Amino acid sequence: MSYQTPRGTYDILPEEIGKWHDVEQTIRKITKNYRYHEIRTPYFESTNVFARKNDSSDMVNKEMYTFSMGHDSYTLRPEGTAGVIRAFDQHKLYGRMELPARFYYMGAMFRHERPQKGRQRQFHQFGVENIGLKTPEIDAETIALGYDIVKAMDISSVKVLINTLGDDESRVAYREALRAYFTPYLPELCADCHRRLEQNPLRILDCKEDADKEFMKNAPKLSDYLNEESKEYFSRVLAALDALHIPYEINEQLVRGLDYYTHTVFEVVSTRSDSGAQGTIFGGGRYDHFVEYFGGPEMSGIGFAIGLERLIDLAEKEGHDFKEDDHTDVYVIGLGDVAGNVLSVVQTLRHAGFVVEGNLVQRSMKAQFKSADRCNASYIVILGEDEVKQGTVNLKKSGEKEQSSVAVDELVSVLQERMNG
């Protein structure tokens, strides 16, 4: 019998965690510059937070981890936006925060997808939601944040794909046109697209199974159904991106896989040939009706989420130098029956702010020096029975032969002086 992580999940081992810390720190630093505030919502919510109305997305219809406890149904969060908006409304933050209210979150999300490279069942997202005001410049500013993060991770082979889904009026007109267009092709559409035709024909444009079919090419284009207001909004978003020197490509096929979007939608994709089928690093868009849906006022928001596994993978491929902080300031070696004394020195040094490892079992000196080496210790403190009697320790810099005797009481100040001097 062997125990393994469930399919589509994985362990992040200590040898990998440095990369995560690096990316998390970079993200926190940049988001702070933009004045975003962290929000932490539960990893599971009542199912109706995600399964809204007649939602047509694959995420809601096919990929949710839903379970019942008593009479209640819960779902592991497949994405972060719904939980944030639920919290925004539940705590009436719209009345208490400066608008736009800027939130960010980082953590695991769960989708029952077919696992492959870059696609897991438990994965991690960093996401932002920018709620309460609606201007094309805010849309551009939101995209700029994601773009800044990608750049800070030294990823340059990317492009921003952008599109508009227009306002309600434009989308209703477009949906009708799509429904009329696809209905005669019903026998050729996959089973999921039969449902999509009913629920939301926009989803058909996103179907992987039907993507290459001939009739897909001539499907009506959303741009032909946009009203003047929607066109004007979109052109101002593009102008704002131009002003920020953020290159983009308008992609009329981009409709995004989630149901809540209105107006601007965008994705940032890798242009590397080795990034595989899962080249989308982040995606997002504006939503006009989400805040109202959970009982709040009529307020628009915009956000995106970055897949952290994909971000780290690409950063690695592009040669980002991950700052992995795995240093040890001091390793304390004990010779003879002195484990108690070693522990006391170790704790004194830790409380003074040093990163310390100590040997608390009886082992040969050679083995202990080897451990000190493996811990990458800058300094080594050696404590034998004679030193204990004298109230001293021997101190030496790693890699150097010379060692000096230091009174235990002075060890902290001597180390501070040597390390800072």
CA–CA distances in Å: residue 344 to residues 78, 314, 349: 48, 45, 9
Which of 21, 112, 119, 317 touches ligand HAM (CB under 6 A)? Answer: 119
Close Cβ partners of 33 (under 8 Å, ≥ 6 residues apart):
none
CB 311 to ligand HAM: min, Å: 8
Q: Which is nearer to ligand HAM, 121 or 222 (CB)?
A: 121
CB 99 to ligand HAM: min, Å: 17
Indicate whether 79 belongs to the interface with ligand HAM (CB under 6 A).
yes
Question: How many residues are there in the chain?
Answer: 421
CB 186 to ligand HAM: min, Å: 28
d(CA 80, CA 125): 8
* Pairing mode, strands 377-384 and 392-397: antiparallel
Q: Which listed range, 98-106, 117-125, 292-300, 313-321, lies at the site for ligand HAM (CB under 6 A)?
A: 117-125
DSSP string for residues in 278-328: --EEEEEEEESSHHHHTT--S--EEEEEEEHHHHHHHHHHTT--------E
CB 224 to ligand HAM: min, Å: 26
CA–CA distances in Å: residue 197 to residues 190, 191, 221: 11, 10, 16
Instruction: Return the residues of window 188-227 that contact ligand HAM according to CB under 6 A.
Output: none
d(CA 149, CA 368): 42
Indicate whether 146 belongs to the interface with ligand HAM (CB under 6 A).
no
CB 75 to ligand HAM: min, Å: 14
Instruction: Return the residues of window 251-310 that contact ligand HAM according to CB under 6 A.
Output: 257-258, 280-285, 303-305, 307, 309-310
Q: Which is nearer to ligand HAM, 97 or 177 (CB)?
A: 97
Beta bridge partners of 95: none
d(CA 355, CA 213): 61
CB 201 to ligand HAM: min, Å: 20
Indicate whether 161 belongs to the interface with ligand HAM (CB under 6 A).
no
User: What are the tokens at 342?
Assistant: 């070693």
List residues near ligand HAM by CB under 6 A: 79-81, 111, 113, 119-120, 123, 125, 127, 129, 257-258, 280-285, 303-305, 307, 309-310
